[in-house]
Structures are given as structure tokens and as C-alpha cells.
Amino acid sequence: MTSSPERIYLDNAATSWPKPEAVYQAVDRYQRSCGASSGRGVYSHAIESQQLVDQCRRSLATLLGASDPARVIFTSSGTDALNLAIQGILAPGDHVIASDADHNSVLRPLRMLEGRGLALSIIPLADGRIDLEKLERSVRPSTKLVCVNHASNVTGLVQPLSEIAAICQRTGALLLVDAAQSLGHLPIDVAALGCDLLASPGHKGLWGPLGTGLLYVGDRVSELLRPLRYGGTGSRSVEETMPTELPDRLEAGNLNLPGIAGLGAGVREVLQVGVAAIAKQEQQLRAELIAGLSSIAGVQLYGAHPGAAAVGVVSLNVEGIDPLELASLLDANFGMQVRAGLHCAPRMHLSLGTAPTGTVRLSVSHFTTSSQVASAVEAIRSIAEAMAG
Ligand SMILES: Cc1ncc(COP(=O)(O)O)c(C=O)c1O
């Protein structure tokens, strides 16, 4: 029997794996010995559940630099958080600005609302980045919201968030940050930034389980944001309308306690390691990938500008082979697990010239090693050499 190659997981931009041991233990512990819903009971295990929720919310607030943990809303994913932000704040007649960097979890809700009378401008990128002058020129008196994909899930390139936030402050537009690829990977301080809404999965850079996400709600929107879902909150149960206070107004239904138990443990680990240290290490791994891959004939890299602000995501193509086929070969022959295709970011690929087939994307995490990166480079080298014949 032939043994399978060691698994080299380089799809952390989809969801991070492995998780820290503490995350597995927290989920297991909650499921086995607690198991109660939060916010709805007075018995000891229900109180323990509520404590897990409160602790996780506090850790997330610390990570984000938010003074009030009630401004952190639990969601089921990054997509769920983006939908809550977009559908909760925009109304027909509003104008919104997005960019070619945006993911379908921003573009699709915006397109849906466009069909109901929203005015939408999608600005192009210049060399992977939002052109600040173009952004400022696109702002209209009716501009309600600017959506920014902080770090690209295709190229890893990071947008100049402080400058974009300053434009929003100057013009009165609200700022929604899609931090799916940046929270936990780069230091972010929502208060210093003046960010109104920040959406993130809990299962990528925060090391929580799938099924978790969050939306940070800033001062300017805390009373405006409408719920996406209506229902029981365990609070003010005599009233048939949603409570007005946060987080309950935006969190109808039982929370995902197994997920939140794991997310809480994940965020505590992130805080303990330190986001600055994680950023440094992931940027080093990205640099090693780029250095290795750029030495291979037939490999084309996208957005791999030396020294550019970026997270640990690299996109490439190998001449003569379709990205999906390349990804299958990498898994079958080298145990290397990567994502191929458009990565739910169709406009980004039009912008890069890689539509309709897309790219192969390699994405590292804090748990990726330099030796795995070296093996990944050698695997791609061997396929590129075979393709060159
Ligand atoms: C930039 C970006 N935004 C949003 C999302 C959606 O997050 P989730 O998978 O948690 O729904 C992703 C996920 O890949 C992403 O990369």
C-alpha cells in the first residue's frame, strides 16, 4: 500500500486549520459538560453559557479596540455579518461605493439592493489598490456607505484603510470594513480608525470553528442598524417587538454556543500570541513563498509586489495548466491543499486579467511552517517543469 503524502494545508483564507488545541478543548468541554443555551435560564449551566458568550464578546472587543463589548454582534459567518451591515443600513435612494476588490458576500447583497433602488458605484483598482482620489471623487451627497475589502482574498494586498477612513470622515459617508482576511492577521483598532462597521468571520484569522462570525457596530450606526432576523432574545420577552439595545436587537435566536466557546478560546490565543507577531510571521512566510515561486519558469504571480503591505495570501498560475487541474494535482501528488478558481471575487479576476478560470491561491497561517512553504514551492516547481516538457 502506498502512503499518502503529509497534508500541507494552504487554504487558510477559506478557513484556518489546524486550530489551537485550546479551541478543540473548549468546544468539547462545552458540548460534553455544559450544553445549555445562553441568556435564557437561571440554572448554573445556563449561567455558564452566558459567561462563555460574555467572555468571548469581551475578548473580541479587546482585539478590536472597542470600548463597549455590546457593540460586537455574533453572526454565523463573515457573509452573515456583511449582510447584516449592508441590508441593515442601506435604503432605496442611498448611494454606496464598493470596489473591484470586493467579495461576492459584499457584491451580491449590493446587487440585490440595486434592484430595489440603491445607487451603486464600483470603483476600479490601480495595481491592486483603491485609488484614493477616485474614491473621493466618487462620493456624492447621497453616499451613505463606502465598503472596503481590507485585505484581498485573491492577492493578499492590503488597502490603505486609515486614508480611506479619513475620506469617509471628511465626506460624512459611513465606512464598512470587510476584515475577513485581516482580523487576527493585522493590527486593527476600530476606535482609532473611526470605523463604523467591521465584519469578520470567526473561523479564519481568529481560529474559531466554522459557523462563527462577528459584526462590530460603531457609534454613528449603533441606533440606525436594522436587524436581519427577528425573534426571541431571552430579554424583554413581554414585548412583541425587538429590544432596542445592543447586542440583543441584532441577535435574535439561540446563539451558536459550541462555536462561540471555540471562538473565545481562539481569540484568547490570538491575543496571547499577539497580532503584531502573527502579522510578522505570516508576512515572512509570504515573502518565502514569493521568493521561491518567482524563481520558477512558467509561474505567473499576481499582486506579489515586493515590500507591499499584504497578508499571507499568494495567487499564481502555471503556464499550460488550468488552475483547477493544478490544484487537483497538488493534492493528489503532494498532499498540498490549495484553492483554485475565482475565490468568490469575480471582479478582482477581471481586474487581474485572470477571468474566467482564475488562479491557484496559497494561503498560510500562524501554524504553517517554513518547511511546508519550501515543500509547496518544490511541488509547484515539479509540475511547472513537467508542463514545460
Ligand atoms: C474577503 C472576504 N469577504 C468575505 C468572506 C466571507 O466569509 P465567510 O466565509 O465566513 O462567509 C470571505 C471568505 O472567504 C472573504 O475572503
Render 316-369 in DSSP notation, one character per residue.
EEETTS-HHHHHHHHHHHH-EE-EEE-TT-HHHHHHHT-TTT-EEEEE--TT--
255 and 290 both lie in a single domain: no
Is 362 inside a domain boundary? Answer: yes
133 and 162 both lie in a single domain: yes
What is the position in ligand 1's atom list of the atom closest to the CA of 80? 11
Is 175 inside a domain boundary? Answer: yes
Q: Are 295 and 76 in contact (CB under 8 A)?
A: no
Q: What is the pLDDT of residues 72-88, one digit of tens each?
A: 999 999 999 999 999 99
Q: Is 128 in the pocket of ligand 1 (CB under 6 A)?
A: no
159 and 287 both lie in a single domain: no
287 and 245 both lie in a single domain: no
Is 3 inside a domain boundary? Answer: no
pLDDT tier for residue 162 given thresholds of 50, 70 and 90: very high
The average pLDDT across 361-385 equals 98
pLDDT at 40 (0 to 100)? 84
Q: Is 368 in the pocket of ligand 1 (CB under 6 A)?
A: no
Query: d(Cα 359, Cα 353) in Å, to the nearest integer?
Result: 10
216 and 342 both lie in a single domain: no
Q: What is the pLDDT of residues 246-297, one digit of tens each?
A: 999 999 999 999 999 999 999 999 999 999 999 999 999 999 999 999 999 9
Taking the centre of ligand 1 as the mean of its atom positions, its distance from the CA of residue 178, in whole angstroms, is 8
Q: Is 359 in the pocket of ligand 1 (CB under 6 A)?
A: no
Taking the centre of ligand 1 as the mean of its atom positions, its distance from the CA of residue 345, in whole angstroms, is 10
Q: What is the pLDDT of residues 217-246, one digit of tens each?
A: 999 999 999 999 999 998 998 899 999 999
Is 2 inside a domain boundary? Answer: no
pLDDT at 344 (0 to 100)? 94
Q: Is 152 in the pocket of ligand 1 (CB under 6 A)?
A: no
pLDDT tier for residue 142 given thresholds of 50, 70 and 90: very high
Check pLDDT > 90 for residue 4. no
Is 1 inside a domain boundary? Answer: no
211 and 66 both lie in a single domain: yes
Check pLDDT > 80 for residue 1. no
Q: Is 208 in the pocket of ligand 1 (CB under 6 A)?
A: no
Q: Are 166 and 192 in contact (CB under 8 A)?
A: no
Number of domains in the chain: 2
pLDDT at 114 (0 to 100)? 98
Q: Is 181 in the pocket of ligand 1 (CB under 6 A)?
A: yes
Radius of gyration of the chain (CA): 21
Of 78-87, 96-105, 297-306, 370-379, minimum mean pLDDT range: 297-306
User: Which domain-ending residue is among 238, 273, 308?
Assistant: 273
63 and 127 both lie in a single domain: yes
206 and 301 both lie in a single domain: no
Q: Is 243 in the pocket of ligand 1 (CB under 6 A)?
A: no
Taking the centre of ligand 1 as the mean of its atom positions, its distance from the CA of residue 371, in whole angstroms, is 28
243 and 314 both lie in a single domain: no
Q: Round the average pLDDT of the chain to a whole number and report it.
A: 96
Is 243 inside a domain boundary? Answer: yes
Best mutation site among 154, 181, 311 for ligand 1, i.e. most ligand atoms within 8 A of its Cβ? 181
**The domain spanning residue 297 has which CATH number?**
3.90.1150.10
What is the position in ligand 1's atom list of the atom closest to the CA of 14? 14
User: Which domain-ending residue is among 248, 273, 298?
Assistant: 273
Best mutation site among 344, 361, 365 for ligand 1, i.e. most ligand atoms within 8 A of its Cβ? 344
Whole-angstrom CA distances from 171 to 132, 166, 189, 194, 314 are: 13, 9, 21, 13, 34
pLDDT tier for residue 41 given thresholds of 50, 70 and 90: confident
Best mutation site among 15, 17, 99, 153 for ligand 1, i.e. most ligand atoms within 8 A of its Cβ? 153
Within its chain, how far is the Cα of 335 from the centroid? 25
Q: Is 77 in the pocket of ligand 1 (CB under 6 A)?
A: yes
Higher-pLDDT residue of 26, 3:
26
Taking the centre of ligand 1 as the mean of its atom positions, its distance from the CA of residue 35, in whole angstroms, is 28
Q: Is 149 in the pocket of ligand 1 (CB under 6 A)?
A: yes
3-state secondary structure of 210: coil
pLDDT tier for residue 2 given thresholds of 50, 70 and 90: low
Cell of 355: 477571468
138 and 278 both lie in a single domain: no
Whole-angstrom CA distances from 337 to 9, 173, 299, 362 are: 5, 40, 18, 8
55 and 106 both lie in a single domain: yes
pLDDT at 25 (0 to 100)? 98
**The domain spanning residue 157 has which CATH number?**
3.40.640.10
**Parent domain of 379:** 8-19+274-388
Indicate the helix (H) or strand (E) that contains 199. strand 197-201
User: Which domain-ending residue is among 212, 245, 273?
Assistant: 273
Check pLDDT > 60 for residue 112. yes
Taking the centre of ligand 1 as the mean of its atom positions, its distance from the CA of residue 105, in whole angstroms, is 7
The average pLDDT across 125-140 equals 95
Check pLDDT > 80 for residue 320. yes
What is the position in ligand 1's atom list of the atom closest to the CA of 102? 1
Is 320 inside a domain boundary? Answer: yes
Burial (CB < 10 A; 0-12, 13-18, 19+), residue 4, is exposed
57 and 185 both lie in a single domain: yes
pLDDT at 305 (0 to 100)? 86
Is 157 inside a domain boundary? Answer: yes
Q: What share of the chain is helix, strand, coil (3-state, %, to 5)?
A: 40, 20, 40
Instruction: Report the percentage of the chain scoring pLDDT > 70.
Output: 99
